[in-house]
């Protein structure tokens, strides 16, 4: 899979949805901003949490967006690997398949 292409498609689909439901999209965006800025955890730590959830829930689009955020936040391959290991522990075999996708995404986005 080409993760750069996947991210472009994800963003295109989100823009389309946002145009159809602007009030909901705006509210969801504000909520996301609030939870990322507030609290005691740093942004990168929060992104590790969401990556683990994205793998466990098997959401490819979420994996792409949150791996991209982690790359921009300076996450290392080893840190991402630790998060993926915990995701596998919680989600079993299906999570392992999506963890492999997440590592592939990280590797592509850091080349």
72-95 confidence digits (pLDDT tens):
999 999 999 999 999 999 999 999
pLDDT of 48:
98
31-71 confidence digits (pLDDT tens):
999 999 989 999 999 999 999 999 999 999 999 999 999 99
Q: Which two tokens stand for residue 109?
A: 């986005």
pLDDT at 16 over 90: yes
Question: What domains, with CATH codes, occur in the chain?
Answer: 3-109 (1.20.1290.10)
Instruction: Assign 99 to helix, strand or coil.
Output: helix
pLDDT of 38:
83
In angstroms, what is the C-alpha Rg of the chain? 14
Strand spans (E) along the chain:
none
Give the span between the Cα atoms of 52 and 58, in whole angstroms. Answer: 10
Q: 3 with 64: CB under 8 angstroms? A: yes
Whole-number average pLDDT of the chain: 97
């Amino acid at each position: 899979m080409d993760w750069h292409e996947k991210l472009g498609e994800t963003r295109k689909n989100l823009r389309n949805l946002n145009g159809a439901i602007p009030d909901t999209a705006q509210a969801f965006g504000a909520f996301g901003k609030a939870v990322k800025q507030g609290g005691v955890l740093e942004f990168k730590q929060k992104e590790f949490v969401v990556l683990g959830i994205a793998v466990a829930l098997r959401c490819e689009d979420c994996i792409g967006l949150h791996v991209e955020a982690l790359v921009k936040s300076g996450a290392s391959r080893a840190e991402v690997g630790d998060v993926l290991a915990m995701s596998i522990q919680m989600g079993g075999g299906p999570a392992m398949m999506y963890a492999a996708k997440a590592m592939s995404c990280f590797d592509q986005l850091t080349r």
